[in-house]
Amino acid sequence: MTKVMVAIASGSEEIEAVSIIDVLRRAEITVDVVSIEADMSLEIVASRGVKLVADLHISDIDPADYQMLVLPGGVPGSEAFRDCESLINILKQRKAKQWLAAICAAPAIVLAEHQLLGDADVTCHPGFQQQLPQSQLSEERVVVDQAHRLITSQGPGTAIEFSLALIAQLKDQESAELVAAPMVLA
């Protein structure tokens, strides 16, 4: 069974979070929406005021259960991720076979801040690209770095494309295309 953790925090970008969750579930991938809230709350208020409810709190998961760890962007959500010691420990200790995916502000605010990019090719929201190593920065909307098992993307407008790239890596390109077709994307 393919299983993915999608982290959420107060201030996460709701288009990104919901798109990732929805699109992966359309591919019959098990998604655990995981709150990182310090007060143990499962409900968060996203960056535009939309309320989202997680399935689990980060203190209740086993990171080894997941084939992929995903960080939606948004501010201050990405800052909450950056400052969450338990999440950062999970990201730093991810297994060699686990994928890491981040979109919008998260590649810069979380991954770059904690030296989790290695020398991977990456992208992020244009407003944060100066915070990424310029020699690694790609102008692509979605960047899949196979060698580092890292997928990054630029923002809300790329969220579905990003999610389909996640499916292509977790399953295969045909599965991504089968999800895209009834969504009138392909």
pLDDT 10s digits, 41-97: 999 999 999 999 999 999 999 999 999 999 999 999 999 999 999 999 999 999 999
Rounded mean pLDDT of 111-131? 98
Look at residue 185 in the predicted model and tell me its pLDDT: 85
> Which pLDDT belongs to residue 38?
97
**pLDDT band at residue 186 under the 50/70/90 scheme:** low
CATH of the domain at 9: 3.40.50.880
Q: For residue 114, tell me if it sits in a domain.
A: yes
Q: Is 48 among the domain residues?
A: yes
| 100 domain-assigned | yes
Q: How many domains does the chain have?
A: 1
Specify if 58 maps to a domain.
yes
Q: Which of 145, 140, 183, 139 has the alpha carbon at shortest distance from 164?
A: 183
Mean pLDDT score across all residues of the chain: 97
Q: Is residue 40 part of a domain?
A: yes
Tell me whether residue 169 is in a domain: yes
Entry pTM = 0.98
Q: What is the 3-state secondary structure (H, E, C) of 98-163?
A: CEEEEECCHHHHHHHCCCCCCCCCECCCHHHHHHCCCCCECCCCEEEECCCCEEEECCHHHHHHHH
Assess whether 124 carries a catalytic annotation.
Answer: no
pLDDT bucket at 31, cuts 50 / 70 / 90: very high
Q: In this model, does residue 39 exceed pLDDT 90?
A: yes
Token couple for 86:
């338990």
Domain that holds residue 98: 3-181
Query: Which band of pLDDT confidence, cut at 50, 70 and 90, is reported for residue 11?
Result: very high
Instruction: Catalytic residue, from 8, 104, 150, 164: name it.
Output: 104
DSSP reduced 3-state for 12: coil
186 belongs to a structural domain:
no
